[in-house]
Chain A
């Protein structure tokens, strides 16, 4: 069916984000070159255009940054909570003021649609700083006893899928509780963290309280292993998470890990189908499926499989893939060539194992890294596409007959981060939610986030929670 109306191009102007040709590391309040002079390029995944050249941190830089953070810790932690709060409120306000600029920047560097950076990432980033700002002078009331103490220097390593949001999740609670921070953003998305360094400058944050070290895995490993780091926070793959857990063994470092997932989105036969379809789409195609809590396994009750799949395919056919800066774009670019290769190889494996692959008619741009929204049907629990985290716009569809079978299949994974339940029956929601081994359960909705709500996984999805009152615990000596 040909669309009645075509969309006119609606590009957001990129002029608002003024990207410098090169950036340094942000250590002790200054932008500096890497000790060994190394640099790397960050490219826009939708065009492969080089956006900027960035200093690449090595272990010497890690040491410098940790020392700066340690020096800053004494004063920062001694500051009355109310004063720390005001710094965080300032940062939150500046983020709001500069949110259009940051949204454009994030879209350029990450490849995700402007619709998402503008409407999801940035409002949440500001909200996290607001939320934790208010905790800074109320820590006595957080349920961890009177006068809970900060840990010291927090070494934080974040992924490329939500660069600025993950920064906010890490830095806001760390600063609110009186810790100082050395943060390593991902090598494919360093820009928004460097812009955040400028926001710290505008807010007048004391030198050394926040240090940003763009770099690769080696810098992250050096940061986590640094003997003067007291707290390690990591979001990323389960494989790296396990390596980190081994690295910190036998030390006193406190650790939180937010790792992979293979979320089950369970649709019962009495579910509101249209809403469920929207939830499924949002669950797996939001940010091109590059979301640890993505609903990458659709478990649909057998009796409505046909009807649901038909609606879902119809809906997928209306998704618009292309220029992430276009305000009408639903599906942007895959973050990197490396990630695209991984998605492609897992999808090929899915086909080779006998799962049935389907994508809507979808033209992919010639340059950049793209992957069409993809469905697998005829999937069994043994298939790779039902077990491995693909981290891309790929949905595996499985069926079930009874609620017990749905729960058993949903829990049949080493992960335990997220799950979804779609049914009109309240008692079923509660019964199924109780049995799911997952840290976040969305019923009749999916992929909702809020700074007041703890987020984090069971089993191999990691330890600890971020967000809410629970998120404070990770940064306090309790």
Chain B
């Protein structure tokens, strides 16, 4: 009896909750760390990037308007689904990063725990970074954080899964929507993550995943007038500078690349980098309850 022939998987993009092939019809070869062919991944075009921005913008109103509690539940659901696919991701991470099975499993565990960590942040960040201000006058004013909008995320090149989740989860936890450019060399965990997002409760368009040449996809995203912010984690120094210049055209918020140890528990930097602060004033007519005679 001959060995069973395995069924290959056709990896696709994830845009607006659907799994299209690249508009360009192009693919590129993804290999494991030893150069063995793993799959053909879509080689996204400028048009795919624009479509992804449209989808992300469309999803922004409902996602940013959802309650923080609801967003937390949805993110936690992602962690649940990841746990169920732990073996698949372990295999993919092992192939992508050339790790032993046990090391890859540790990375996947850390990644799932990272989702859980960010899931818990959705309804706390406003309390940590917002608040009431003691204005010197008969006014009540409140500063609260709000998502900045559509965020382009260049996922880290070397950490195909833990790094990816570490930059993506904070963006959507705070109510932004994201267009993610997967690691150029190791895109498969990102494309599989899209399948998890699609089958958890994350609304279509909240996360859009593109694979291909980082520089090629990032250029139109950095210049796009309807993108509000860009995380340059996956860009090298030269590319990052070019993208930052392009991003100045509509004053995108830019998170510059910096050395990050993704195994460490993150701080709140990536949460606050894509938040605006809105301060709302209202007259009170008095200076507060302490004036009461009771």
Contacts and interface: CB of A to CB of B under 8 A. Distances in A.
B137 A450 contact: yes
A438 B276 CA distance: 9
Q: Is the interface of A mostly helix, strand, loop or mixed?
A: loop
A414 B250 contact: yes
A250 interface: yes
6 closest A-B pairs by beta carbon, nearest first, are A250-B241, A245-B248, A249-B244, A452-B133, A450-B135, A441-B280
A448 B137 CA distance: 10
Given A249-B245, A250-B241, A452-B133, A468 B250 contact: no
Q: Is the interface of B mostly helix, strand, loop or mixed?
A: mixed
Interface in A423-446: 429, 433, 436, 438-445
Given A242-B248, A246-B245, A453 B280 contact: no
A443 B248 contact: no
Contacts of A31: none
22 contacts: A242-B248, A243-B248, A249-B244, A250-B241, A414-B250, A429-B282, A438-B278, A439-B279, A440-B279, A441-B281, A442-B281, A444-B283, A448-B139, A450-B136, A452-B133, A453-B143, A454-B279, A459-B251, A463-B253, A470-B129, A470-B277, A478-B269
Contact of A443 (B240, B250, B256, B281): B281
B251 A127 contact: no
A442 B166 CA distance: 36
A370 interface: no
Nearest to B250: A460
Nearest to A257: B251
Contacts of A241: 251
Contact of B277 (A242, A246, A462, A465): A465
Interface in B196-251: 228, 237, 240-241, 244-245, 247-251
B282 A445 contact: yes
A27 interface: no
A29 to B, nearest CB: 33
Contacts, number: 104
Nearest to B240: A250
Interface of B: 128-129, 131, 133-137, 139, 141, 143, 148, 228, 237, 240-241, 244-245, 247-251, 253, 256, 267, 269, 276-283
What range describes how many residues of A lie at the interface?
35 or more
Contact of A458 (B241, B247, B256, B276): B276
A455 interface: yes
B41 to A, nearest CB: 30
Interface in A183-216: none
A52 interface: no
A250 B247 CA distance: 12
A245 B237 contact: no
